Structure 1
Amino acid sequence: MNWKCIFLFCCISLSLPVMGCSQTAAPKKPNIVFFLADDLGYGDIGVNNPKSRIPTPNIDKLAGQGMRFTDAHCVGALCAPSRFGLLTGRDAASWKNFNNIEGEAWDCKTMPQMLKERGYYTSIVGKWHYGVLFEGEDGRWGYVNPISGRFPKPSDNWKLDAPTRLGPLDRGFDYFFGTPIQPGNKWYANMEGRTLVGNVILEEDKPVSDEFIHQDWLKQITDKAKEQIKIGASREEPFFLYFPINSPHKPIIPDEEFRGVTGIGKYGDFVHQVDWCVGEILKAVDDTGISDNTIFIFASDNGSFYYPGSRNSNREDEDELKINGHKANGIYKAGKGSSEEGGHRIPYIVRWPGHIKAGSVSNQLVSLADHFATFASITGYHLKETEALDSWDISPIWKGEVTNEKIDRTLFHLNGNPEVVAVRHGKWKLIPECYYKSRSKQDDEPERIRIPAQLYDLSSDPGEKENIHDLHPVIVKDLTDRLNLYQKAKHNAPHIKNGTIKL
C-alpha cells in the first residue's frame, strides 16, 4: 500500500471543508422598488416645503431614512417623455417624443431589459402610459393612443380578449398589472400581462370592464404592488418593482376615507393619499425583511399642474389651494408642461440602508434618466456606447463619495414643445428666444407665441423672477453653444463617457 498517497488523500480531504468555509459568497444584488408619483409638485411634500399645507408623514420619514435631493429633474415635463427617459436613459429628443402622443417606436434597450440580463425578476404595477396594440378581426393591429384612449375605427373590429403587443412585457417586464394609459375618463379596464381583465365592452370607443372601479384603483394597485414585493422577496433572484401610480394626476378622486382630511380641498386630500400609499409600500418592504438589501426610490414624473395661470387645473380646486396658502410647486415658477423650474424640478428621495447616509441631503444636479446607468453600475452591467446616452451613474452621490463641489454637468429641459428647450449648466439656466404653437378653442389655426430669451442665476433667483439675459453675453453664448451641440447630436454631448461622472 502506498502510504504517501493515503496521507496526501487525508490531507486534501481534511482541508476541503476549511477551504469551503473560508470562501465568501458573492453578495446578492439589491432589490429595487421605484415609486413614481404622477404630477406631484416639489412643494407638495412637507420635507421640501415647510409651508406645505398637506401632511406627508411617510414621505418625510423616508427622507429621514435616506437621501433627499433638492435639484432633481424629470426628462420631459409631461407624463410619457418623462417615463421614456426613466426607462431608457435617454431624453425625449433622442426619440423625438416631445409630447404625450408618440408611443410605438422604441429602438433602444430599456432599463428592465438590462436588469433582466443581470438576473432580475421585473414587474410593473400601475400606469404604463404608452398604449398597446390590439389585434383586429381582419388581421390588422391597431394602436390605442395614450392621449385619447380610443380604439382605431372601426371599433367593432378589435379582439378585446386576445393578447396585446408592444406593452410592458415587450419592454423587459416579466409581470404587468394596471392600465396602458391614464385610468379614468379615457380608460376603464385593467390589464394583467397581455390581456384585459374582466368582461370588457367598448363604449364610445373606450374599454369598460365590469371589474374596474376607478374610485378604488389606487388602493387596488397598491395591494398588487405589495403582492409583487412578497413574491419578489420569496424568489432567489433579486427583483425590480416599478410602481407608477396615477395620483395626484387628474381626475382628482381621493378615496372616501381621505376626503376632507387636509382641509384644503380634493387635491390636498389626493396628495395625502399618495403619502399613505408610500407608507403601505414601505411597510411591505420592511415586513418581508428585505429592507437592508433594497433600494427604495420615491420621485414624481414632473411638476404639478396646479400653479397660477395653468390651463390644466380645475379653477375651483386652484382657488381653494390659494385661499389656504398651498403652493404645489413651492417657490418654483409655473408647473407641468413648462420649461420653468416648476415643470421639471421634482421631489426625489432614495433609501438604501448601509450605503446611503440616513437624513442626508444632496444639492447635486440629477435626472430621472440617470437610473439606467446607476443600476448598470450597481449590478455590474457594462453599458454599450449606444445605450443610455443621457444617463449618468449617480451612485457615488448616493454613497456620499462625491463632495459638496458641484459636478460639471449640463441638462436640457423639454416642456412638450420641440421648439422650447431650456439649458441648465451649474447655476445658470437659459431659455432661448423661441416660438410655440397654441391652438385656441375659437380658432383652429395654431397661433405662434413668442417666448423672449431668458437667463437666470438659480443660486440667487430660484423662482426665476429676474431675467438677466442682457447682462451676461458670455454666459448666454456658452449655453447657446451647448444647446446647438446638443440639438445637433440629439443627446447630451458634454458626456465624457455615458454612465460616468467626471469627479
Structure 2
Amino acid sequence: MKKHLILAILCIVLLQMSCAKKQKIEVEQEVVTSPNIIYVLADDLGIGDIKAFNPDGKIKTPNIDKLAQGGMKFTDAHTSSSVCTPTRYGILTGRYNWRSKLKSGVLTGTSKALIPNNRATVASFLKKNGYYTGFIGKWHLGWDWAKTQSDSLLGNGWNPGDFKNIDFSKPIKNGPNDVGFDYAYGHSGSLDMAPYVYVENGMPTAMPDTVTVDKGKYTWWREGPTSPDFVHEDVTPNFFRRSFNFIKEQAKNEKPFFLYLALPSPHTPILPTKEWLGKSGLNPYADFVMEVDGYMGQLQAAIKEAGIEENTIVIFTSDNGCSPQADYKVLAAFDHNPSSIYRGHKADIFEGGHRVPFIVKWPEMVKAGSVSGKTICTTDLFATCADIVNAKLTDNEAEDSFSMLPLLTNNEKMFKREATIHSSINGSFAIRQGDYKLVMAPGSAGWSFPKPNSKDVASLPEIQLYNLVTDPGETQNIYNEHPEKVAKLKALLQKQILEGRSTPGEAQKNDSVANWKQINWEKSR
C-alpha cells in the first residue's frame, strides 16, 4: 500500500514538474515570438544620406549608425515604389501598390481612402494576434473628410479652393482606426499638402482658423487651411514626442505593441528647427536629416528607459529615394550624393528612386553588427510580422510579402523572395532577380534625365537591362547582349502581375482601372 502511495505521489510531482516546465517554455516562447515592433518610416531620405550605408557621405548620422551597429543592416533593400503613397500602401498591406486602384502618382490631402476597410493590414493582423496598435505621423493613404453638404464634392487637393466643403467639426471616415490601428494621430497628406490639420482617433484636434502658404526655396508648402495647433516647424518634433509617450505608456502593459511612426521629414517643407539649422555645414536638407537622426537617438533612449530594449524590434527605413528638392547641386559641391553610387532619385525607376537604407534592431534575436545583402522589399513587413507571431496568412492577405525572419535569424536559405517588382511615379515597371534588373521603359520613367515623353528618350530602347553587381550605377544597358535574360524576366513580370500575387497561393485579382499600362496583359490572360 505504501509503495503504491509513494508511486502515486511521485507521479503527481513529476506531472506538476512537467506542467511547470511546459509553462516555462510557453512563457519563454511568448517572450521570443511577441516582441514590440516599432516601424519608423522617414520621408524622401536617400540611402546615401546615412553614414552606415555611405561612408563617403558628408551628413553626420551617429544615432542611426548606432542603430545599425546594434542590429542588421540591409544593403539591398527597396521600396515597392519610388514615391510616397504607393510605398505606404505596400508597407501596410503587404501588396504591391499597383495592384490597388492607384496605378501611378500619389494621393493628396483630400483624397479618399485607398485601403478598403475589409483589406487586412499589418495593424489589423497584429491586433487580431494580441497587439495594441498605434499610428503616429503622415498618413498619405487617403481618408474621407466630412463634407458640409452630403452632395458636395471636394476638390482634388492641389488648389486653394479645394477645401471649402470640408466640415472640420465632424469626424473623418475610413481612416487609420478603420484599418486596424487602436490609436491614430497624424495628418492626411504630405507636410506640403493642405489641409494642415491634425486628426486624432478620427476627429480633427482643432478647427482651422488661418490659411497659410510658404514659397521659400526649401521651406515651401501649398496654400491651405491651417489649425492653430499645427505648426509646420514642430510637426516632426511633435510626432517624436508623442511616440516617446506612446512607448512609455505601452511599456507598462502586458500586451505587446506595434507602433507605425511615419515621419514627414526630410520631405519638403525642409524645416529644421533652430537647434539644428546650420549644424551640417551643407544646406537645410542636410540639417533636417541631422534633426531626424537626433530624434532617432532620443527614440532609442526612450525604449531603453522604458525597460523594453531587449525584446523590441526597431525598423528604420525610408519611403523612397531622396527628392531633387534636397538640392543635389549644392550637396555635390560638398561631395555628397543622397543617392550614393546609384543613378537617379525619388520618382525614378533607377536605383536611386527605390533603393533605401533599411535597419532592423532586435537585441534578443538579431546579432549586432550583422549585414544582409539579400534583396528585400518594404512589402515584406506583413509576412515578417506573421512569422514572428506564428500566425498564418490567408490567400488574400499580404500577396507580395516575404518573411524576413530567416534573414534576421541567420537562416538565409529559408528566405523565399524570388524576385522584386519596382514601379516609378508614372507607373512604369522594373523587375529584379538576382544580379539583373529589367526596366520596362526608356529613360528614368520619373523626374531625372532622361524624362518620359521628352525628346531625350525618343531614340532610346523601350527596355533596359542592367547587371547591378558589375554596374550598380546603371550606366550600360545590356538588353541586346542577353535576349534570353530579357525574355525570362519579362515572362516572370507578366506572370506575377497577372496572378495577382508574387507569393505562393491561390491567384488573386488586381484592382483594375481603365487605361492601366498592363490592361492589355489582363485582356490576354
TM-score range, shorter chain: 0.7 to 0.9
List per-residue Cα deviations over 1:55-105 (Å, max 9, x = no partner). Answer: 000011111110000100001111000000000000012114222136524
Return the alpha-carbon distance in structure 1 between the equivalents of residues 122 and 159 of structure 2. 26
Amino acid at match of 1:245: L
Match of 1:55 in 2: 60
Q: 2:105 aligns with which of 89, 99, 103?
A: 99
Return the alpha-carbon distance in structure 2 between the equivalents of residues 437 and 359 of structure 1. 36
The answer as to whether partners of 1:70 and 1:363 remain within 8 angstroms in 2 is yes
Match of 1:379 in 2: 389
Taking structure 1 as reference, are residues 411 and 6 closer, same or farther at Cα in structure 2, changes over 3 Å only?
closer
The more displaced of 19-28 and 44-53 is: 19-28
Return the alpha-carbon distance in structure 1 between the equivalents of residues 3 and 445 of structure 2. 91
The answer as to whether partners of 1:458 and 1:464 remain within 8 angstroms in 2 is yes
Match of 1:39 in 2: 44
Match of 1:443 in 2: none
The answer as to whether partners of 1:135 and 1:141 remain within 8 angstroms in 2 is no
Amino acid at match of 1:131: G
Matching of residue 86 in structure 1 with residue 91 in structure 2? yes
Match of 2:408 in 1: 398
Return the alpha-carbon distance in structure 2 between the equivalents of residues 167 and 344 of structure 1. 26
Match of 2:516 in 1: none
Return the alpha-carbon distance in structure 2 between the equivalents of residues 144 and 132 of structure 1. 14
Equivalent residue runs for 1:2-401 within 5 Å: 18=17, 21-22=20-21, 23-24=23-24, 25-26=26-27, 27-28=30-31, 29-97=34-102, 98-101=104-107, 103-107=112-116, 108-140=119-151, 148=158, 152=162, 155=164, 157-184=165-192, 186-201=194-209, 203=211, 206-306=224-324, 313=325, 317-401=327-411
Amino acid at match of 2:181: F
Return the alpha-carbon distance in structure 1 between the equivalents of residues 44 and 393 of structure 2. 31
Taking structure 1 as reference, are residues 144 and 294 closer, same or farther at Cα in structure 2, changes over 3 Å only?
farther
Match of 2:216 in 1: none
Following TM superposition, by how much is the alpha carbon of 1:468 offset from its aligned partner in structure 2, in angstroms?
Answer: 1.1
Return the alpha-carbon distance in structure 1 between the equivalents of residues 122 and 81 of structure 2. 18
Amino acid at match of 1:130: L
Match of 2:425 in 1: 416
Amino acid at match of 2:105: N
Taking structure 1 as reference, are residues 12 and 139 closer, same or farther at Cα in structure 2, changes over 3 Å only?
farther
Taking structure 1 as reference, are residues 425 and 242 closer, same or farther at Cα in structure 2, changes over 3 Å only?
same
Return the alpha-carbon distance in structure 1 between the equivalents of residues 493 and 407 of structure 2. 26
Following TM superposition, by how much is the alpha carbon of 1:186 offset from its aligned partner in structure 2, in angstroms?
Answer: 2.4
List per-residue Cα deviations over 1:107-151 (Å, max 9, x = no partner). Answer: 421110000000100001110112321223433586675x63867
Return the alpha-carbon distance in structure 2 between the equivalents of residues 226 and 190 of structure 1. 18
Return the alpha-carbon distance in structure 1 between the equivalents of residues 19 and 431 of structure 2. 56
Matching of residue 425 in structure 1 with residue 436 in structure 2? no
Following TM superposition, by how much is the alpha carbon of 1:416 offset from its aligned partner in structure 2, in angstroms?
Answer: 1.8
Task: Return structure 1 stretches of 4+ with deviation > 6 angstroms.
Answer: 2-17, 405-408, 435-439
The answer as to whether partners of 2:244 and 2:302 remain within 8 angstroms in 1 is yes
Return the alpha-carbon distance in structure 2 between the equivalents of residues 150 and 188 of structure 1. 12
Return the alpha-carbon distance in structure 1 between the equivalents of residues 484 and 113 of structure 2. 41
Question: Tell me, what secondary structure is at the counterpart of 1:361?
Answer: strand
Match of 2:514 in 1: none
Following TM superposition, by how much is the alpha carbon of 1:486 offset from its aligned partner in structure 2, in angstroms?
Answer: 2.8
Taking structure 1 as reference, are residues 383 and 447 closer, same or farther at Cα in structure 2, changes over 3 Å only?
same
Return the alpha-carbon distance in structure 1 between the equivalents of residues 135 and 290 of structure 2. 23
Taking structure 1 as reference, are residues 381 and 140 closer, same or farther at Cα in structure 2, changes over 3 Å only?
farther
The more displaced of 200-209 and 118-127 is: 200-209
Following TM superposition, by how much is the alpha carbon of 1:285 offset from its aligned partner in structure 2, in angstroms?
Answer: 0.8
Q: Percent identity?
A: 35
The answer as to whether partners of 1:119 and 1:238 remain within 8 angstroms in 2 is yes
Amino acid at match of 2:106: N
Return the alpha-carbon distance in structure 2 between the equivalents of residues 473 and 437 of structure 1. 22
Structure 1: segments with no counterpart, 5+ residues: 307-312, 440-445, 499-503
Return the alpha-carbon distance in structure 1 between the equivalents of residues 399 and 10 of structure 2. 55
Amino acid at match of 1:197: T
The answer as to whether partners of 1:133 and 1:142 remain within 8 angstroms in 2 is no
Match of 1:309 in 2: none
Match of 2:215 in 1: none
Return the alpha-carbon distance in structure 2 between the equivalents of residues 203 and 141 of structure 1. 21
The answer as to whether partners of 2:465 and 2:479 remain within 8 angstroms in 1 is yes
Taking structure 1 as reference, are residues 150 and 181 closer, same or farther at Cα in structure 2, changes over 3 Å only?
farther
Following TM superposition, by how much is the alpha carbon of 1:318 offset from its aligned partner in structure 2, in angstroms?
Answer: 3.2
Following TM superposition, by how much is the alpha carbon of 1:195 offset from its aligned partner in structure 2, in angstroms?
Answer: 1.1
Pairs aligned (count): 476
Return the alpha-carbon distance in structure 2 between the equivalents of residues 488 and 334 of structure 1. 29
Question: Tell me, what secondary structure is at the counterpart of 1:60?
Answer: helix
Return the alpha-carbon distance in structure 1 between the equivalents of residues 210 and 279 of structure 2. 36
Following TM superposition, by how much is the alpha carbon of 1:484 offset from its aligned partner in structure 2, in angstroms?
Answer: 2.2
Return the alpha-carbon distance in structure 2 between the equivalents of residues 143 and 400 of structure 1. 51
The answer as to whether partners of 1:69 and 1:349 remain within 8 angstroms in 2 is yes
The answer as to whether partners of 1:131 and 1:143 remain within 8 angstroms in 2 is no
Question: Tell me, what secondary structure is at the counterpart of 1:297?
Answer: strand
Return the alpha-carbon distance in structure 2 between the equivalents of residues 400 and 141 of structure 1. 56
The answer as to whether partners of 1:132 and 1:144 remain within 8 angstroms in 2 is no
List per-residue Cα deviations over 1:133-184 (Å, max 9, x = no partner). Answer: 1223433586675x6386756x1x4321211101111111011111111124
Matching of residue 485 in structure 1 with residue 495 in structure 2? yes
Following TM superposition, by how much is the alpha carbon of 1:430 offset from its aligned partner in structure 2, in angstroms?
Answer: 1.1
Following TM superposition, by how much is the alpha carbon of 1:409 offset from its aligned partner in structure 2, in angstroms?
Answer: 1.6
Following TM superposition, by how much is the alpha carbon of 1:188 offset from its aligned partner in structure 2, in angstroms?
Answer: 2.2
Taking structure 1 as reference, are residues 301 and 377 closer, same or farther at Cα in structure 2, changes over 3 Å only?
same
Question: Tell me, what secondary structure is at the counterpart of 2:371?
Answer: strand
Taking structure 1 as reference, are residues 432 and 16 closer, same or farther at Cα in structure 2, changes over 3 Å only?
closer
The answer as to whether partners of 2:322 and 2:338 remain within 8 angstroms in 1 is yes
Question: Tell me, what secondary structure is at the counterpart of 1:124?
Answer: strand
The answer as to whether partners of 2:424 and 2:445 remain within 8 angstroms in 1 is no
Following TM superposition, by how much is the alpha carbon of 1:234 offset from its aligned partner in structure 2, in angstroms?
Answer: 1.1
Q: 2:472 aligns with which of 454, 457, 462?
A: 462
TM-score (norm 1): 0.87
The answer as to whether partners of 1:144 and 1:150 remain within 8 angstroms in 2 is no
Following TM superposition, by how much is the alpha carbon of 1:459 offset from its aligned partner in structure 2, in angstroms?
Answer: 0.6
The answer as to whether partners of 2:135 and 2:183 remain within 8 angstroms in 1 is yes
